[in-house]
């Protein structure tokens, strides 16, 4: 199992009305193995007010919505309560999204909505579904398990022919050595069932 962690943003602030609400976001991405396409991405969010004197109205509810690589939106409640929100104490929430990702990076998008507060302004809102905040997250390495170029061509049953993959194309290997300044073809041998056999037969 491979895991990658990172920070999407240390601090990003709501820009509409006052008081200012700040947000941070980080992630942990987990892949069972290099050949597993499904990745589990855990997103961690925090919200806090700008100063110890800041105050946001009674009953505020902040909900964060997030998605990975343009998939479905998932949500978690960052702050909800009947009391008013004041000071710089952080409120946190996390959510986990699983996605089929045959890539080494993922696009993480999120936005924050605000409802239920007696406060008349719009503080706390950050983007929306049509204009979310967007970040790139590094994922654990992925490999399809295919080294490229399929498999070598089948040699005749009575011949032993070496092939190498060049740019995704299998080509017959022709080994050479330099003898006294001249390149000469070499015919390699391998022992098979106690008998030395040429690896090339023309």
Q: How far is CA 70 from the centre of its chain?
A: 13
pLDDT at 127 over 80: yes
Residues 52-57 have a mean pLDDT of 79
| Phi, psi (degrees; rounded to nearest 5) at 26 | -135, 170
Q: How confident is the model at residue 112 (pLDDT cuts 50, 70, 90)?
A: very high
The answer to whether residues 138 and 105 touch, using CB atoms and an 8 Å cutoff, is yes
DSSP β-bridge partners for residue 106? 137
Q: Where are the domains of the chain?
A: 2-138, 146-202
Residue 154, token pair as written in the block: 């089948």
User: Does residue 96 sit in helix, strand or coil?
Assistant: strand
Arithmetic mean of pLDDT, 40-57: 89
Predicted confidence band at 157 (pLDDT cuts at 50, 70, 90)? very low
pLDDT of residue 1: 87
Measured CA to CA, the distance from residue 137 to residue 143 in angstroms comes to: 18
The answer on pLDDT for 18 being more than 60 is yes
The pLDDT score that the predictor gives to residue 193 is 74
Q: Which CATH fold would you assign to the domain 2-138?
A: Immunoglobulin-like (2.60.40)
Whether residue 202 is predicted with pLDDT greater than 50 in this model: the reply is no
Mean pLDDT of 32-37: 89
Statement: residue 118 has pLDDT above 80: no
Separation between Cα atoms, residue 172 and residue 153, nearest integer Å = 9
The whole-angstrom separation of Cα 160 and Cα 57 is 81
| Res. 121: pLDDT tops 90 | no
Integer Cα distance of 121 and 103 in angstroms: 41
| pLDDT 10s digits, 63-105 | 999 999 999 999 999 988 777 788 888 999 999 999 999 999 9
């Amino acid at each position: 199992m491979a895991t990658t962690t990172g920070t999407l943003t240390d601090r990003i602030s709501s820009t509409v009305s006052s008081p200012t609400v700040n947000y941070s976001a980080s992630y942990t991405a987990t892949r069972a193995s290099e050949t597993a396409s499904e990745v589990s991405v855990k997103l961690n969010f925090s919200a806090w007010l700008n100063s110890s004197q800041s105050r946001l109205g009674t009953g505020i509810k902040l909900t964060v919505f997030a998605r990975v690589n343009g998939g479905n939106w998932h949500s978690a409640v960052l702050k909800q309560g009947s009391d008013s929100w004041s000071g710089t104490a952080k409120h946190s929430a996390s959510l986990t999204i699983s996605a089929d990702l045959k890539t080494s990076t993922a696009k993480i998008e999120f936005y924050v909505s605000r409802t239920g507060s007696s406060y008349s302004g719009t503080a706390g809102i950050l983007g929306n579904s049509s204009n979310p905040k967007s970040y790139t997250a590094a994922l654990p390495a992925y490999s399809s398990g295919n080294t490229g170029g399929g498999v070598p061509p089948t040699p005749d049953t009575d011949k032993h022919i070496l092939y190498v993959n060049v740019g995704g194309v299998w080509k017959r290997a022709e080994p050479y050595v330099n003898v006294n300044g001249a390149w000469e073809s070499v015919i390699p041998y391998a022992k098979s069932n106690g008998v030395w056999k040429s690896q090339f037969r023309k």
